[in-house]
Amino acid sequence: MDDENHVPERLTNSASLSEPSDRSVISPAVDSFTGGTSTIDLNNSTFPGSSDFDAVETDPSSSDKIAEWDFQLPRLRFAASTQNAANIDQGSSTFDPAAFARAVQDGANLLSLIGYLDRYSREKVSYQINDEIEGFPLMFYIVESNNERLLRHCVSKSGNPEAVHVPSQIPLLVFAIVNSHNVEGDKTLLVATLLSLGASPNVLPSAFYTPYLQDLPETGPENSANSEIEGARFNTPWCTEDVSQRLASALTLSQRYFIQKAANLRVPTAREVDLAQRRNAEGLLGISYFLIGQSLASHLLLRKLLSHILSPSKRPLVMVFAGPSGHGKTELARRLGHLLSLELEVVDCTAFSREIELFGPREPYSGAAQGSPLNNFLAKNAGKRCIVFLDEFEKTTTEIHKTLLLPFDNGEYQDRRHRSNINCSNTIWILATNAHDEVIQDYFESHQEALSDPTNQDEGVRLIKKLASEVKEDFLRTFGPPLTGRISAFIPFLPFSVGEQAVIVHKYLLELGESVEGPVNLSTGPKEKLLGNVRLRIRRDGSVCRILAESGYNIHLGARSLITAVDTVKSRLVDEYLEINEGFSEHPEKTECFVDVQADEIVVTMSASK
């Protein structure tokens, strides 16, 4: 079993119901997806024992300082006497959690951190990975780094996703949310990852995220419960007035959405977890936690994949992703590849009408020696688990359909370059199509309330299975029996609800904020950047994103239609930016831009430089 995808034990306790590229640098002050301020290579740095640690700040965990904790971890440093300690490769034979926390805080190279963890068996690391460093569990330092890959790897080594800072009783999930407000960049992925790895959303009072589209008051939600705990709200010991305000200020629309979604998701059974671990496919169990919408499609996909790996077949898995454009078909395939660490080949079927164009020519035709991208991908991954995503499959021809019958039927394919047989029985084929949009939209309109109710998943699953059968019948009429008979599963994708549309708008607004926050660059040429040093703030994000979504969503275009709505905000931001009566400058001070709603109208304003 691959430790990196280990599923925590909490997921095995209940079956009841209760959002990708690698980063090489980790820094608590900078989003790990964009780099770090400093890099420490563990292979060329000291790594002394925990007894050599000092803290720059005093320990905030003492009882008289809990209320003053600002959710900042102590800054760790090595004692002066250990600056010339032995290199990590010559260090102790035991895992050193304190030195590891120090390296994480200093922005150590991600691959070096993972390599250090992998030097030791899971049993050795698990013995200390939940130790406290200066009064805080090691997992708090991992979350502070804002690197989802490092977080996954630590949980695979038995790191506890439900760790708690005992003196304040603050859960790790709450720290992840509030800490996200202290650093730049979007932290939604980290929160979703933590939830997917076993952190329970139930540690948060539901008033903070239900309904997720509702704007949170600055002071936090109204305390409807009669708390029996002095100074606490919602009968939750850690939820003091100060923490409630911090949490309400930090929780974004996207985070509230994924927390509410996690609260309604069915927890995998012990047997499902065992199966996934035995097949090195633990990442499958977290696939529903990362997508906006399409919970039912994710459920059908998960069930089919678990069934397939439980009873392997020489026939490859061939699935149809059916639904309107822009509703997550490609995103679900990419997320599947990311979680399972699989190679993914996306093929735009609009570019091919003949078999020779898609798979490449055979000898003696010109170009046979080079092969096509798809041909070479299948050859490179012969016998391996991988994904081929055929986008807009309805644009393909009968000639291409006939060529696909053999690999779909027995998992065999002939390399066009030298006519050797290739085993593609482990290939996952996904045929994405919007040829059945009318069937899906009519069905959705007739059952919209039940299909959109996240609290009644059983009824939703029953209805989506019935829709899948109707899509299969329509596929049969469109593509014929030979191809239809080789399809393993039909996965319908539904239109987005109003709330899901708003969350997608929020995602695009965050991307806009990231694009304008970088520094101005006055150099001439491709590196020039005149729009920068702007920090985008979204007030009342639920209302703002709902209004933008209602004005822009088109069911035939899906998420793509919402980009246009966000472009209106960008245009107003640019107008405000150009109104500043000073020339462009590379100074680091940032200008704050606020997006708000007044009388159901979107308002964009910009403050003076800070």
Give the model's pLDDT for residue 32.
30
Give the model's pLDDT for residue 47.
30
In this prediction, residues 490-494 reach a mean pLDDT of 97
Q: How many CA atoms lie within 13 A of 440 on its CB side?
A: 26
Q: What is the DSSP letter of 171?
A: E
Distance (Å, rounded) from C-alpha 455 to C-alpha 240?
29
Question: Which residue has better confidence, 369 or 555?
Answer: 555
Give the model's pLDDT for residue 183.
64
Distance (Å, rounded) from C-alpha 482 to C-alpha 486?
7
In tens, the pLDDT along 512-558 reads 999 999 899 999 889 999 999 999 999 999 999 999 999 999 999 99
pLDDT confidence bin for 232, thresholds 50/70/90: low
Q: Quick one: tokens of 527?
A: 């590196």
Q: Does the structure show a pLDDT above 60 at 95?
A: yes
Domain ranges (residues) in the chain: 22-160, 270-492, 498-609
Contact in structure between 73 and 141 (CB atoms under 8 Å): yes
In this prediction, residues 373-392 reach a mean pLDDT of 94
Which residues neighbour 110 within 8 Å (Cβ) at sequence distance 6 or greater? Answer: 22, 23, 24, 25, 26, 32, 147, 149, 150
The pTM assigned to this predicted structure is: 0.84
Average pLDDT, the chain: 83
Q: Does the structure show a pLDDT above 70 at 207?
A: yes
CATH architecture classification, 498-609: Orthogonal Bundle (1.10)
Distance (Å, rounded) from C-alpha 9 to C-alpha 392?
40
Give the model's pLDDT for residue 305.
93
- Name which of 151-165, 200-214, 366-380, 539-553 the model is least confident about: 366-380
Distance (Å, rounded) from C-alpha 497 to C-alpha 453?
10
Distance (Å, rounded) from C-alpha 505 to C-alpha 398?
39
In this prediction, residues 430-435 reach a mean pLDDT of 96
pLDDT confidence bin for 79, thresholds 50/70/90: low
Distance (Å, rounded) from C-alpha 524 to C-alpha 214?
45
Q: Quick one: 270-492 is in which CATH superfamily?
A: P-loop containing nucleotide triphosphate hydrolases (3.40.50.300)
For tokens 């500043």, name the residue.
Answer: 580
Strands 76-78 and 53-55: antiparallel
Distance (Å, rounded) from C-alpha 242 to C-alpha 239?
8
In tens, the pLDDT along 255-273 reads 999 999 999 998 889 999 8
Q: Is-same-fold flag (270-492; 498-609)?
A: no
Distance (Å, rounded) from C-alpha 196 to C-alpha 335?
13
Which residues neighbour 408 within 8 Å (Cβ) at sequence distance 6 or greater? Answer: 315, 316, 318, 429, 483, 486
